[in-house]
Structure 1
Amino acid sequence: MSARRLAPPAPAVPARPQVTSSTSPHEPAAAVPQGALARRDEGRLRIASLVVFVLLWQLGASLADSRTLPDPLAVLARIGAETASLALPGHLAVTLGRVAVAFAAAMLVGALVGMAMGRWRKVDAFLDAWLVLGLNIPALVTIILCYVWFGLNDWAAIVAVAINKIPTVIVTVREGARAVDPRLLEVARAYRLGRRTTFLRVYLPQLVPYLMAAARSGLSLIWKIVLVVELLGRSEGVGFQLNVFFQFFDITGILAYTLVFAGVVLAAEGWVLRPLERLLGAWRA
């Protein structure tokens, strides 16, 4: 055997980090928040979904009769004509006013009753039969009764819409009130927080997801009921105008008003409700 000693292996030299054109060796790259990336991806998917919808509409219009299904350009031209004549903005403003008042009334009454039913068992037992009845009465029956009782006026229309929405708000908020963590309320009592502070800082934040769920479902339901109310007993509004178009078999006008109203509702969802939900739920992050 050779008497030579084996030389110890040389220590590994760490590789120098490569510097790209967007970063320097002294300044790390700025990290993009994951939430911003997720929202950007969601926005792209929504835009892609709308593009696919328009393409499918154009395909269907090319295969069907133009009087049965007009193409998107014809509907867009009709929207421009109705806007220029101020007919569309006028009817839309009237309908949105009714939607806003009925939505606010339904959310306020439904949230208060839902919190009471979720908090106290006796209140829940007393009002449960009323709630089941309200959930199962058809909207058409409520609309007709309100018109008969209160007359063909805006207040009857708003009351009919609110009555149809209040039970669904109650159900959602009641479940949220039942899911409130009692340990957080005990901590608030241990720190001797006042009732107002406990409600605003401890109780209400836990209800935000349920309130937002009720608001989203309520917005999609209320505007549909408002159109039925206007169709049956009002002389202005999007529902009334849709009835006029139906009598003349004007599908282009029906689609024009429907798309504009749906666009307003989508804008309210994307620019108001969704950012509000992120703002109020930021404490959970």
Structure 2
Amino acid sequence: MTDQLVMGPDTGPSTPAAPDREAAARRTARGRRWRRTAVLALGWVAIYAVWEATSWWFGSRLLPRPHEVLQSAIEIIETGNFVGDFSASVLKTFAGFGVAALVGAPIGYAMGRSRYWRAFFHDGVTIAGTIPAIVYAVMSLIVFGLSNLGPILAVALVSAPYVALNVAEGIRGVDNQLITMSEAFGRTPRQIRREVLVPTIVPFVFAAIRMCFAVAWKVEALTEVFGGRSGVGFQIRTEYQLYDISAVLAWMVLFIAFMLVIERLVLAKAESRLLAWRPEERGAAL
């Protein structure tokens, strides 16, 4: 009598359980973060090495060495000038951003929602975005003189076109099928704006903020160099008149350090929280 072997159904290769897949994804994300950190550190080491070599080549009188600039930066912080002048520059920059958002966001929304408003604003916004920043700085000083309103106006004029164009592109990128489906399910225009339009344009708004941030800081400092009474630009002009190159570079280094803090610890964190619903953001957060 032939023995018969009874076999169950072939289920194919076994797939890992969900906890195992999540653990593997976390390990992969952790490895990516370590690699990014290593590359970032390597970049800073390269910058330091190039600075040292250039200072040795031209002499520390023309280009002070990094440790000399660091010592000047420490002295600036210890004297207390850092807090007062940086606070003045930060307040003027943020005030200019606020004005740019109040003006640029509605214009961008109108350009994105209506082709007629887009035709009306397009050339003006494009021209405003191509005007050199130094023109805005000089014009603001001519209009307001030696006051805090000059840097604020310069920052607003530089930033508003970027805000308008990015918001317009965000609105135009909205999937019309989502709007049609929302209307079919009885959503009000206010709910559609809040639940469809706003989440879509948030990435574009953050792109505009990041794009404007460095430009606005430079314009604000440039305006202070020309005719400010306080702020980072005013201090750079003062140290230049004294021919203290180490102090000029120290203010520049502090300026860059502050921008990196705002970029990495404020803008990046806020963007990751507000966009946590996106799959790529969830993957990066693992």
Q: Is the 8 A contact 1:107 1:215 kept in 2?
A: no
Structure 2 residue aligned with 1:261, among 249, 255, 262? 255
Deviation at 1:112, TM superposition (A): 2.0
254-263 vs 193-202, which deviates more? 193-202
Q: Name the residue aligned to 1:31.
A: 24
Distance in 2 between residues matched to 1:280 and 1:198, nearest whole Å: 18
Q: Name the residue aligned to 2:131.
A: 137
SS at match of 1:92: helix
Is residue 2:44 matched to residue 1:50? yes
Q: Is the 8 A contact 2:155 2:216 kept in 1?
A: yes
Between the aligned residues of both structures, percent identity stands at 31
Deviation at 1:49, TM superposition (A): 1.1
Deviation at 1:168, TM superposition (A): 1.8
**Long gaps (5+) in structure 2:** 1-18, 280-286
143-152 vs 79-88, which deviates more? 143-152
Distance in 2 between residues matched to 1:142 and 1:87, nearest whole Å: 27
Q: Is the 8 A contact 2:239 2:247 kept in 1?
A: yes
Distance in 2 between residues matched to 1:156 and 1:99, nearest whole Å: 11
Aligned residue identity for 1:253: A
Residues 237-248 of structure 1: pairs in structure 2 closer than 5 A: 237-248=231-242
Q: Name the residue aligned to 1:201.
A: 195
Deviation at 1:28, TM superposition (A): 6.6
Aligned residue pairs: how many? 259
- TM (norm. structure 2) is 0.84
127-136 vs 94-103, which deviates more? 127-136
Distance in 1 between residues matched to 2:116 and 2:99, nearest whole Å: 25
Aligned residue identity for 2:74: G
Q: Name the residue aligned to 2:156.
A: 162
CA RMSD of aligned residues (A): 2.0
Distance in 2 between residues matched to 1:108 and 1:221, nearest whole Å: 18
Alpha-carbon distance change, 42 to 107 in structure 1, aligned in 2, over 3 angstroms:
farther
Q: Name the residue aligned to 1:185.
A: 179
119-128 vs 151-160, which deviates more? 151-160
Residues 75-224 of structure 1: pairs in structure 2 closer than 5 A: 75-224=69-218
Aligned residue identity for 2:196: V
Is residue 2:230 matched to residue 1:236? yes
**Long gaps (5+) in structure 1:** 1-26
Deviation at 1:113, TM superposition (A): 1.1
Alpha-carbon distance change, 36 to 275 in structure 1, aligned in 2, over 3 angstroms:
farther
253-262 vs 268-277, which deviates more? 268-277
Distance in 1 between residues matched to 2:224 and 2:128, nearest whole Å: 21
Highest Rg: 1 or 2?
1
Residues 268-279 of structure 1: pairs in structure 2 closer than 5 A: 268-279=262-273
SS at match of 1:236: coil
Deviation at 1:85, TM superposition (A): 0.8
Alpha-carbon distance change, 44 to 106 in structure 1, aligned in 2, over 3 angstroms:
farther
Distance in 2 between residues matched to 1:177 and 1:40, nearest whole Å: 36
Distance in 2 between residues matched to 1:85 and 1:202, nearest whole Å: 51
Cα displacement string for residues 13-54 of structure 1 (whole angstroms, at most 9, x for unaligned residues)? xxxxxxxxxxxxxx9794352444433432332222112211
Q: Name the residue aligned to 1:8.
A: none
Aligned residue identity for 2:203: P
Distance in 1 between residues matched to 2:105 and 2:43, nearest whole Å: 34
Distance in 1 between residues matched to 2:44 and 2:102, nearest whole Å: 33
Q: Is the 8 A contact 2:104 2:161 kept in 1?
A: yes
- Tell me which protein shows more helix as a share of its residues: 2
Alpha-carbon distance change, 28 to 281 in structure 1, aligned in 2, over 3 angstroms:
closer
Distance in 2 between residues matched to 1:190 and 1:70, nearest whole Å: 67
Distance in 1 between residues matched to 2:37 and 2:209, nearest whole Å: 21
